[in-house]
Amino acid sequence: MVKSMTGFGRKTKEKEDFKVTVELKAINHRYFETLFRMPRQFAYLETKLKKNMATILKRGRIECFISFEGAQIAKHNLTVDWELADHYFRFLKQAQKRYDFSEELTMQNFLVDPVFLEVRESVEADSTLETLVVETVLSATKRLDDMRLLEGAELALYFKTHLETLEACLKEVKQAVPEMEEAYRKRLESRMTKLAGAKFDERVVLTELALFLEKADINEEIERLDSHFKQFYSILTDEGAIGRKLDFLIQEMNREVNTIGSKAMSLTITENVVEMKTTLEKIREQVQNVE
């Protein structure tokens, strides 16, 4: 089944005082790669979220944006270095007596210096919110997958249209082979007539013609190309990721077409070879977008 690697998926879920929104953006990539952007309290969930997404998506670079609304998701704790504060307080009291300071010591003396006080954010996430995040990411992934399937259906039609062009070109190449052989035989006989007159040895012509047919024989390439076309159609209906299979098959098709072009001594075949190479390049560009 053809599935695109690009797409977008968005899902929002609410539970109690929380609201979680997940947005997924997918682009082409050789392998399956994820990039998460979310509060650091949930960084430990990345491995689990990636595994869940990998059950649905096989290839592509997925950017995952997770945002929250509602109650405070992070708890803040005040940390005080009392031992250092005691030393600091004693120093101030001694300094008052030593230098006869008249100012009274207040809490402001401690608050101006953050070395005594530190507000730390808790790294522990609420279990209810954790479950909500996992569920929302999975739902967004399914939506992304639906979009990729829709784009994949369009790609499948695109491939089939261009495969029909390739098949039409190959049909013309098949038809041109006997004409090419006959044209070469006539040129050879004409050349022999000019060199040896009307009584030339036909065995020489047959020998030369046999050598030519051996060098210019493209029947095997035609058969393999025909087989590749059928295989391409078949792969389009396979389950799972098929992009790499199609990419490899396009390379094999190009190899056969190039061989036909190098062997053929026919304008008709050459024109069709050019058309097939152009069409294969169009298919190859879009195959890069298939999962």
- 69 pairs with which residues across the strands? 19
* Residues near 190 by beta carbon (within 8 Å), at least 6 away in sequence: none
Asked if residue 114 and residue 141 are part of one domain, the reply reads no
Cα angle 281, 282, 283; round to 5: 90
Tell me if 1 is assigned to some domain: no
In this predicted structure, what is the pLDDT of residue 87?
78
Tell me if 240 is assigned to some domain: yes
Asked if residue 84 and residue 205 are part of one domain, the reply reads no
Asked if residue 91 and residue 22 are part of one domain, the reply reads no
Tell me which residue range forms the domain holding 46: 7-73+123-148
Tell me if 2 is assigned to some domain: no
Asked if residue 258 and residue 214 are part of one domain, the reply reads yes
In this predicted structure, what is the pLDDT of residue 210?
58
Tell me if 19 is assigned to some domain: yes
Asked if residue 265 and residue 168 are part of one domain, the reply reads yes
In this predicted structure, what is the pLDDT of residue 114?
65
Asked if 260 and 269 touch (Cβ cutoff 8 Å), the reply is yes
In this predicted structure, what is the pLDDT of residue 77?
66
Number of domains in the chain: 3
CA atoms within a 13 Å half-sphere pointing along the CA-CB vector of 270: 7
- Give the SS3 label for residue 87: helix
Asked if residue 111 and residue 48 are part of one domain, the reply reads no
Long-range CB pairs of 219-224 (<8 Å, 24+ gap) are 219/177, 221/256, 221/257, 221/259, 221/260, 221/263, 222/170, 222/173, 222/174, 222/177, 222/260, 224/252, 224/256
Asked if residue 183 and residue 51 are part of one domain, the reply reads no
In this predicted structure, what is the pLDDT of residue 289?
95
Asked if residue 154 and residue 144 are part of one domain, the reply reads no
Asked if residue 81 and residue 202 are part of one domain, the reply reads no
Asked if residue 282 and residue 154 are part of one domain, the reply reads yes
Tell me if 268 is assigned to some domain: yes
Taking the C-alpha atoms of residue 59 and residue 31, their distance in angstroms, rounded to an integer, is 5
In this predicted structure, what is the pLDDT of residue 234?
96
Tell me if 280 is assigned to some domain: yes
* Residues near 262 by beta carbon (within 8 Å), at least 6 away in sequence: none
Asked if 213 and 180 touch (Cβ cutoff 8 Å), the reply is no
Of the residues 132, 148, 164, the one at which a domain ends:
148
Asked if residue 127 and residue 52 are part of one domain, the reply reads yes
Asked if residue 231 and residue 115 are part of one domain, the reply reads no
In this predicted structure, what is the pLDDT of residue 17?
77
In this predicted structure, what is the pLDDT of residue 113?
64
291 residues of the chain, pLDDT tens digit each? 899 999 999 999 998 778 899 999 999 999 999 999 998 888 899 999 999 999 999 999 999 999 988 765 656 666 777 787 787 778 877 877 777 776 676 766 666 666 666 666 555 556 788 889 999 999 999 999 999 999 999 999 999 999 999 999 999 999 988 887 776 666 666 665 555 555 555 665 556 655 665 566 788 899 999 999 999 999 999 998 999 999 999 999 999 999 999 887 788 999 999 999 999 999 999 999 999
In this predicted structure, what is the pLDDT of residue 262?
86
